Chains A and B, each alone.
Chain A
Amino acid sequence: MNDLVTAAIVVFGVPAVLVGYILLTERIIGALPEQRQGAIRPWFWIAPAVAFLVVFLIYPTINTFVLSFMDAQSKSFVGLDNYLWFIQDPGTIEALRNSLLWVVFMTGGVVGLGLLIAILVDRVRYEPVAKSVIFLPLAISFVAAGIIWNFMYGYQDPSRPQTGTLNAVIGIVGLGPVRWTQEEPFNNLSLIFIGVWMWTGFAMVILSAGLKGISPELLEAARVDGATEWQVFRGIIVPLLTPTIFVVATTIVITALKSFDIVFTVTNGNFGTDVIAREMWQQMFTPPGNFGRASAVAIVLLLAIIPFMLINIRRFREQEAIR
């Protein structure tokens, strides 16, 4: 296809189709009797989203669910065999433990630091610069991040000068060198820190957007009334920001559970650092490939998120109630 034609479609065609869809459906709805409009309209508004989700996520997931009860080549039914393998294999249990470490430390680190940074940079004049610096890692692809952290965690024999940044730093005070990505207890934490480094910018941007949504008059009023900064934080910022903190925390929990790329590029799951998502990849794409087991691992991932979903449902109910 001609580049100019493509460019025109990309810049004008796509948005026109989308806006046109809503205007057209509003036309159709407008032709209906008044009392039926309210009942029909929402379905038109969510229809495009639902269609995309059915094709790209729901249908493949049902497919995965069915495959998790089948054998390696998806030919015959094997019942719960793949799940029994999962709970009996020491490798998957270790991966499960490591994924839990990811969930706890990555979520804590990202949300805590993201909130701290969002609030702090709100008060300094070089906010855009500081935010760009924290955000930078998110603009880096995982392949590049793997290279970057090889320079950071690099290890050389103690008799030679250390080229890894971290070992050189602790070498100044006579410590190390440490094999950061291989030795317990550093291995998993070192990998998780890469995740924190990459995702803190994400939390910061969303929390900062939420923070900007809080009315400045409200904050000023509290301060004029003599509230300390801590009271403003506890009494106004945190309660108003709670829905946003929830979104960020849920997203990071899920990201941590799905974390694959960092482990894949840095250790490939060796040295006791395997995680569930990499285990799934291994089952699926390492010849001969076991689609049954890979699917079972994917379903376990899905099940692991249910508690977080339940908390979210409760919170939506509360939000609806106070509206």
Chain B
Amino acid sequence: MTSLLKARDQAPSVAGQRRGPKLSRLLLHGVVIVIAFIWIVPTLGLLVNSFRPAEEVSRSGWWTALFPPWDFTLANYARVIDANDLGDSFINSLFITIPATIIPVMVAAFAAYAFAWMSFPYKNAIFVAIVGLLVIPLQSTLIPVLRLLASTGIAGEFLAVWLAHTGYGLPFAIYLLRNYMGGLPKEVFESAAIDGASPATAFFRLALPMSVPVIASLAIFQFLFVWNDLLVSLIYIGPTDPENLPMTVRVASLVSSIGGQTHILTAAAFLTMILPLSVFLLLQRYFVRGITGGAVKG
């Protein structure tokens, strides 16, 4: 464990240590900054437009707002927040998204560990079949699954959406985790087994902690897919129990009810983006170099 911590402490220095010649450093910064600039411009345009009066948005490009005379307004945001009880649906979104992230990640981790480090008949065939399921378009499962959920009476409950998102998220989660866990050093698990550790102990004490970077990324993606999902909630919760609907559905209905007024939507879009973005920033510190590297030596 100490070597693991040490590897983490040393981590930042490795990235910064290597100073190439000045010119290539300059080129490096240049390329990174240009790509980052191209990537942020579309969203920046949306952000700027969300603070502009409606008639300005349709008359001139968003960049004109950056020069005086400034004409910014909070009216778009005020209208979005007034129009719908977004607070309740924000809580609903949390209640839907948190379990719909935890369940698939855990269930996938169990399976991935078995696929990576246990032997059983038809292991590869089953695994490839699971990966093959990635290709199934969500839309083609909606009707049979809705019939099933309705017949068990859980359609409309949060549970229905938790289970559905778990099912849809699992193929990718298993695929990603098995690949990463399969690449963990064999010696670690062999010596754990020799020391008498049960597979459950090896899983919770070794495999999971060593997979933290990939679990963090997986958790972020699953979180985002569920948070931004419209279709699954709309179909499995929508008709039965509208009180449980998440934010995306409320925002979408807002859009259709005020049809065509994109300046309102710009504000709504930003409100839905705030949380996923904070989650990403929060989890980013887990993307640390050298966690597995340190463990091999230990």
Residues of A at the B interface (CB closer than 8 Å) are 3, 6-7, 9-11, 14-15, 18-19, 22-23, 26, 30, 38-39, 41-43, 45-46, 48-50, 52-53, 55-61, 63-64, 113, 116-117, 120-125, 127-128, 130-144, 147-152, 161-165, 168, 197, 200, 202, 205-206, 208-220, 223, 229, 243-244, 246-247, 250-251, 254, 257-258, 260, 277, 280-281, 284, 294-295, 298, 301-302, 304-305, 309, 312-313, 316-317, 319-320, 323
Contact = CB atoms under 8 A, between A and B. Distances in A.
A140 B44 CA distance: 13
B113 interface: yes
13 contacts: A41-B199, A57-B168, A57-B171, A127-B15, A128-B281, A133-B40, A135-B280, A137-B42, A138-B224, A144-B265, A197-B42, A247-B179, A309-B132
A131 B284 contact: yes
Tell me what chain A mostly uses at the interface: helix, strand, loop, or mixed.
helix
A287 B66 CA distance: 46
Interface residue tally on B, bucketed by range: 35 or more
B107 to A, nearest CB: 5
A298 B142 CA distance: 13
A305 B136 CA distance: 10
Nearest to A253: B135
Contacts of B58: 163
Given A209-B213, A313-B124, A165 B62 contact: yes
Contacts of A134: 35-36, 39
Nearest to B88: A3
B43 A120 contact: no
B2 interface: no
Given A120-B32, A123-B15, A168-B61, A14 B135 contact: no
Interface in B106-156: 106-108, 110-111, 113-115, 118-120, 123-124, 126-128, 130-137, 139-141, 143-145, 148
A239 to B, nearest CB: 12
B273 interface: yes
Contacts of B272: 141, 144
Interface in B46-103: 46, 49, 58-63, 91, 94-95, 98-99, 102-103
B18 interface: yes
Contact of B114 (A6, A42, A162): A42
Contact of B163 (A38, A56, A298): A56
A285 to B, nearest CB: 8
A10 B99 contact: yes
B252 to A, nearest CB: 6
Given A57-B167, A125-B16, A162-B61, 17 more contacts: A15-B106, A18-B107, A26-B199, A45-B110, A46-B115, A52-B107, A52-B166, A133-B40, A197-B42, A210-B214, A213-B180, A213-B293, A247-B179, A250-B134, A260-B139, A305-B135, A323-B186
Contact of A14 (B99, B145, B220, B288): B99
Contact of B277 (A139, A151, A163): A139
Query: Considering the complex of A and B, which 7 residue pairs feature the smallest CB-CB distances, nearest first?
Result: A56-B167, A144-B269, A215-B293, A60-B141, A45-B114, A49-B111, A42-B120
Nearest to B96: A10
A57 B136 contact: yes
B137 A258 contact: yes
B71 to A, nearest CB: 15
B139 A281 contact: yes
A161 B230 contact: no
Contact of B46 (A3, A58, A151, A206): A151
Mostly helix, strand, loop or mixed at chain B's interface?
A: helix
Contacts of A319: 182
A157 B131 CA distance: 48
Interface string B261-281: 010011001001100110011
A22 B200 contact: yes
Contacts of A254: 134-135
A132 B279 CA distance: 11
B60 A161 contact: yes
B292 A10 contact: no
A26 B289 contact: no
A159 to B, nearest CB: 15
Nearest to A119: B28
A105 to B, nearest CB: 17
B144 A60 contact: yes
A275 B130 CA distance: 25
Contacts of B61: 151, 161-165, 168
B192 to A, nearest CB: 15
Contact of A247 (B126, B176, B265): B176
Contacts of B106: 15, 18-19
Given A42-B119, A149-B42, A319-B182, A53 B133 contact: yes
Contact of B273 (A140, A149, A280): A140
B168 A6 contact: no
Contacts of B214: 206, 209-210
